[in-house]
Chain A
Amino acid sequence: MPYQIIVCGGLAPDPLQTLEPVFDPAKPSLKNELMLPAVFDPWAAHALYEAGHLAKQHPGSLVRVVSLAPKAKLQQVMMTVAQKLPFELVALDGPGGGFTDAAAVAAALADAIAAMQDLDRSRLLLFGGWESATRGAGVVMQRAAERLGITEQFLAVDELSVDADGSLLVKERIEGGRHQISRCSSPPAMLAWATGNLPEPPNHPQTGMANMRVIMPALQKAKPVTLEPSAEFLRTALPSAIRQTRVVKDVPAAEIAQEIAEWIRQ
């Protein structure tokens, strides 16, 4: 069965960047937010790789990425992401960042998906990361799916396989380092991915060039989105813990082991 796989994913600051908050009660932000190098959100990226893998296994499947982010930044990130696997892009030009409202983001994404003219809900698999690396709330995918009427939802998915009868076998992370195994008889379904099992695909320049031929027009047509704030922020700050690191060098391993053993026993 060919699937229509829609992957929702935003952008996040490159994890190696230093982040500094700039406080504003209605719209907090990061210092130099627009200048910070960005990456495709890590968990959404895992969802995209899994989508590509599933599409390859089921010929005729289509992967679309729906992304809400500042258009110029999205274009930069897509230059890299587009080299990973074939997909189409539906771009929404709006503010990124962690302090935007999750419900408004979910509504914008769901509206964009619902507006797709050839959307076949009987073949729809809605993918995304289970949390973003920015807001980290883990609520956008469920809210978007609910707006689309999808009531089969899975969170922190690490594995998806399709059985011969077309049912979806899903492994979700649960407490205690375990997976819950569920079977969903048919799409539509929403899967919010954890890390999955697939490594990052290598860059493939030809795929990137083919993708960019459809991604660039999609970016030019990006619909502007305004996200109304719904929370009143009282404070944003860096954590205050500063550690005075003691460096222990040129000490025999036995002495170090003795110190660590005492520390563990304390």
Chain B
Amino acid sequence: MEKILVLLHTMDGQIPQAGLETLGLAKSLGGGFDLAVLGADASSAAQQISGGAAKVFAVEGEAFAVSRYATDAAACEALIRASGAPLILAPDTMRFHRALPGVAERLSAAIDTHVVSLSSDGAIERWYYRQRIEASLKRTQRPWILLVEPGSQPPAAPQPGAAPEILSVSCDTRTTVEGFSTPLAGEQTIRPEAPLLFVAGAGWTKKQKDGAVHVEEAADLILDFVRRTQCSLGSSKSLVDLSGEGQAVLPFLTHLHQVGQTGSSPRHKKGLATCCHGEEPHVVGWRFIQERRAINLDPNCGWVRGKADVVYVADAFEVLRELLKLL
């Protein structure tokens, strides 16, 4: 196996879980590796996990504490050049996904993202067409940057080692990071650590048996369920789009909840879809949900065609009311 550079960044001064997973993948291949870390407190974070690394590098300082293309790209470019490794493994976080394609262009490197496996002969696996086709491929071009999909690898146990060599990097930028916003009032969207994904479909906001719409009750039932089970909350595209069409919507759902073709593809052990037809554009986002169940009034919905393990043909309002008594 050729030499690998494990390129990581800190998050709140620590190496995030996705970074430890990438490190775990590099160690599992059995070859030599360098370690490079950028971000706030990169030096101390690198030392906590640098056991086994041949060389260790870090870029830190105020400019590199925030996630921003210009500074991240400059730092990553310097770290990759300093190591000289032909194969670079990095976690597929939003920070690196923004910066590393541009770095690949600067280095005339190849880059592949959403990588779910790397074998010792240099073959990777990733998905195409929004998780509808899987492919395995190799490249001869070097450097080759691989962004490893979070949740696809077991994490490495942190093993302290040598202190890093701190690289000095400077970069001009016209962008300042002003802060963060959470569009939801305490309701989570996709929480990677949650065991269960609950998807609310458009049926919750449609007319019910009595001919009336019960959006408020639907909102109460869903939020109560989410709070009691601490699950991830997702929605189908149709439900999110209703807001743009002026129709009744669940007030706490935004595009960030969207699962499917133009949304996320979360990784949870279990998924429960409610009032959702199970159309292909939504279900492609369920590719990595292991156990799938659905509640729907339509016995011919998409879920019954091999897309779910169990489909309950029932009124989701009634089932959730009963379910909340048990949780």
Give chain A's interface residues, CB within 8 Å of chain B.
Answer: 13, 15-16, 19, 21, 28, 42-43, 46, 98-99, 102-103, 106, 133-143, 145-147, 151-156, 158, 169, 171-186, 194-200, 230-239, 242-251, 253-254, 256-258, 260-261, 263-264
Contact = CB atoms under 8 A, between A and B. Distances in A.
A133 B129 CA distance: 6
Interface of B: 67-70, 73, 93-95, 97-99, 101-102, 104-106, 110-114, 123, 127-141, 173-184, 188-191, 196, 229, 240-241, 243-245, 255-256, 258, 261-263, 270, 272, 279-281, 284, 287, 291-293, 295, 299, 303-315, 318-323, 325-327
A47 B100 CA distance: 22
Contacts of A250: 313
Contacts of B68: 182
Contacts, number: 268
Q: Is the interface of A mostly helix, strand, loop or mixed?
A: mixed
A195 to B, nearest CB: 4
Nearest to A101: B110
Given A247-B313, A253-B319, A264-B229, A153 B102 contact: yes
B105 A19 contact: no
A230 B175 contact: no
Contacts of B255: 158, 194-197
B106 A146 contact: yes
A102 B182 CA distance: 32
A232 B137 contact: yes
B326 A185 contact: no
A138 B104 CA distance: 13
Given A200-B244, A243-B307, A253 B133 contact: no
B8 to A, nearest CB: 15
A45 B173 CA distance: 29
A249 B313 contact: yes
B132 A19 contact: yes
Nearest to B140: A232
Contacts of A256: 295, 312, 314, 319, 322
Given A103-B111, A155-B97, 6 more contacts: A16-B279, A133-B262, A143-B102, A152-B70, A181-B181, A182-B176
29 contacts: A98-B133, A103-B104, A133-B262, A135-B128, A137-B111, A137-B113, A138-B97, A139-B111, A143-B102, A153-B98, A154-B98, A158-B255, A158-B256, A172-B94, A178-B182, A179-B180, A199-B241, A199-B244, A199-B245, A200-B241, A232-B138, A233-B135, A234-B135, A234-B138, A245-B304, A248-B310, A253-B315, A260-B312, A263-B291
B261 A230 contact: no
Q: Which of B132, B308, B315 has the most CB of A within 10 A?
A: B132
Contacts of A195: 240, 255, 258, 262-263
A245 B292 CA distance: 10
Nearest to B320: A257
A251 B318 CA distance: 12
A19 B142 CA distance: 32
Contact of A175 (B94, B114, B307): B94
Q: Is the interface of B mostly helix, strand, loop or mixed?
A: mixed
Contact of A136 (B128, B136, B196): B128
Q: Which of A156, A200, A263 has the most CB of B within 10 A?
A: A263
B304 A247 contact: yes
A239 B281 contact: no
Contacts of B179: 180-181
A143 to B, nearest CB: 4
Contacts of A183: 175-176, 178
Contacts of B95: 174
Contacts of A239: 131-134, 287
A134 B240 CA distance: 22
A235 B183 CA distance: 41
A174 B184 contact: no
B176 to A, nearest CB: 5
A230 B129 contact: no
Contact of B180 (A106, A180, A231): A180
B109 to A, nearest CB: 9
B188 to A, nearest CB: 6
A261 B326 contact: yes
Contacts of A174: 67, 94-95, 180
Contacts of A185: 174-175
Contacts of A237: 133-135
A253 B102 CA distance: 53
Nearest to A198: B244
A247 B311 contact: yes
Given A136-B128, A233-B137, A239-B134, A15 B281 contact: yes
A182 B177 contact: yes
A236 B135 CA distance: 4
A11 to B, nearest CB: 13
Nearest to B171: A151
Q: What are the 10 closest A-B residue pairs judged by CB atoms, nearest first?
A: A199-B244, A177-B189, A257-B322, A139-B101, A142-B101, A253-B318, A155-B98, A153-B69, A146-B105, A257-B323
